[in-house]
Amino acid sequence: MVLRRGVVCPFCGCLCDDLEVEVEDGRIVSTKNACPVSRSKFLSHAEDRARPMVGGREVSVEEAIEEAARILREADFPLIYGLSSTESDAQRMAVRLAELTGASLDNTSSTCHGPTVLAAQECGAVKCTLGEVKNRADLIVFWGCNPAEAHIRHPIRYSITPAGMYRQGKKERFVVHVDVRETRTSKMVNQFVKVQMGRDYELLSALRAAVRGYEVKEAAGVPGEVIKGLAERMKGCRFGIIFFGMGLTMSRGKNLNIDAALRLVRDLNEHTKFLIMPMRGHFNVSGANEVLTWLTGYPFALNFSRGYPVYNPGEFSAVDLLSREECDAALILASDPAAHFPAAAVRHLASIPTVVIDPKVSLTSKLARVVIPSAIAGIECEGTAYRMDGVPLRLKRIVDSPYLPDREILERIIERVGG
């Protein structure tokens, strides 16, 4: 029995780095400090593994790689998508492959915090690390997110109950949850504010008005006195932060909701220290944005068909390219768009030659022409991942694997494409 300490969890953007994992005879047998989803990921890592396939027939990995390269070589307008559940060297290789093949390149942020990126490019964002939140924040606002179900250890490690340097436990923090419905997160906070679905922009704008001293009445179903009280609490705290999620990015308004939230935080900094942070989902979706930005200048939704990167969300984002039926081939890396894209986009994905690189059987792999199984980053191979606050952490290899890491598979495809 081998006990591995200080293991980084490769599930969500929290990248909890205090896990302990027991390995016996090359198999993970138990975990400590892991949330239920993380535990499931570690203990189920050997289950439901993908096999190398071409056209529904099992083949060698080399044969699958050869066919993947042929598809990309022959495509006129390929799409490379995913990247967020793998490590940053693989993301780097995906950029290289996109450049070589003149592909469109997008990562899963286009369907999670892409609108956050768009808004931050317009007006900037006041940011910090999770360590600063843990040590200093006395007001935490969760808006349109549900960490109790999606970022399960966030409240105990960073935001509600941790013993920080200057803030100790829940009694020295005030926690607010703004959402369209009461969830498990609502039960952990001091105040729940129910906003009507699709009207977050209105409430954020009313809060901005209240912060500036204007009289506000009811907005988005929230009484004027509640808005005024929240505005005063925000202005009066020592160190406040808004954590926000898909409730803002996916609902009506999208990037405009985030724009309003970023500007609210900017206004609050005339009164106190206030910050904002997106709750990033996939464990290295932040890394996908970072790596694409430092290699191309753009974080997602770009295209190389002119020989240089062109950025245009709405045109080169995966859902748009697929639902408009523009791309004629796709390589999907470390994500499962068939499970998480609208059906109109999935139907086109099913109609074109698609290559999937994934450790597990995914719904996209069920539709793909080529499937290449890979090692699980953070369990079966090492690498770097970026936490939701942009801090890079080193993922460990916990067990040996017969599968190639994503980066090596991409390198082999690049060799065959002609890189």
Partner 1 sequence: MEVLLNTGRTVDQGVSMERGKTSQEYFEKVAVAFLHPEDAKELGVGEGQAVRLTTEFGSVVLRCSLGNTERGSVFVPMGPWANALTSALTEGTGMPSLKGLRAKIEAVPGGKPTTLEELLRSWRGRSGSA
57 scored as a contact of partner 1 (CB under 8 A): no
Q: How far is the CB of 253 from partner 1 (least distance, A)?
A: 10
Beta bridge partners of 265: none
Q: Contact between 91 and partner 1 (CB under 8 A)?
A: no
At its nearest, how many Å lie between partner 1 and the CB of residue 147?
Answer: 10
Specify the stretch interacting with partner 1 by CB under 8 A; choose among 22-30, 157-165, 212-220, 242-250: 242-250
* Rounded Cα gap, residues 395 and 142, in angstroms: 28
Q: Which residues, in sequence order, are CB contacts of 84 under 8 Å at separation 6+?
A: 107, 108, 109, 281, 282, 283, 284, 285, 287, 288, 334, 335
Q: Does 262 bind partner 1 (CB under 8 A)?
A: no
CA nearest 112: which of 5, 37, 12, 17? 12
Check binding of 310 to partner 1 (CB under 8 A): no
d(Cα 181, Cα 247) in Å, to the nearest integer?
Answer: 10
Least distance from partner 1 to the Cβ atom of residue 414, Å = 26
70 is a contact residue toward partner 1 (CB under 8 A): no
Binds partner 1 by CB under 8 A, chosen from 236, 342, 394, 415: 342
- Closer to partner 1 by CB, 172 or 182: give it: 182
Q: Which residue has the tokens 């970072």?
A: 290
| Coil vs helix vs strand at 4 | strand
Which CB sits closer to partner 1, 92 or 348? 348
Q: Which of 201, 239, 341, 403 binds partner 1 (CB under 8 A)?
A: 341
Alpha helices by DSSP H, 58-154: 61-74, 88-101, 114-123, 130-136, 147-150, 154
First to last CA, the chain: 43
Q: Are 375 and 405 in contact (CB under 8 A)?
A: yes
When asked if residue 150 is in the footprint of partner 1 (CB under 8 A), the reply is: yes
3-class DSSP assignment, residue 28: strand
* Region near partner 1 per CB under 8 A, out of 75-83, 206-214, 346-354, 397-405: 346-354
Tokens, residue 285: 């979706």
Size of the site for partner 1 (CB under 8 A): 67
Residue 238 CB, shortest distance to partner 1, in Å, is: 32
The least CB distance from residue 119 to partner 1, in Å, is 10
Choice between 91 and 183, CB closer to partner 1: 183
Q: How far is the CB of 152 from partner 1 (least distance, A)?
A: 7
Among 30, 191, 305, 323, binds partner 1 (CB under 8 A): 323
Stretch that binds partner 1, among 135-143, 211-219, 320-328, 387-395 (CB under 8 A): 320-328
Residue 255 engages partner 1 in binding (rule: CB under 8 A): yes
Q: Calculate the alpha carbon distances from 189 to 146, 184, 228, 311 in Å.
A: 12, 10, 19, 40
Cβ–Cβ < 8 Å for 100, 78: no
* In the block, residue with structure tokens 């090492």: 382
- Residue of 273, 281, 221, 274 whose CA lies nearest to 249: 281
SS3 262: helix
Residue 58 Cβ vs partner 1, minimum distance, rounded to whole Å: 15
From 126, 128, 180, 310, residue interacting with partner 1 (rule: CB under 8 A): 180
Phi, psi angle pair for 241, to nearest 5°: -150, 145
* Residues contacting 347, CB < 8 A, separation 6+: none
Q: What is the contact surface with partner 1 in residues (CB under 8 A)? A: 11, 36-37, 40-41, 44, 47-48, 56, 106, 110-111, 114-115, 118, 146, 148-150, 152, 180-181, 183, 194, 197-198, 246-247, 249-252, 254-255, 281, 300-301, 313-314, 317-320, 322-323, 336, 338-347, 349-351, 360-363, 366-369
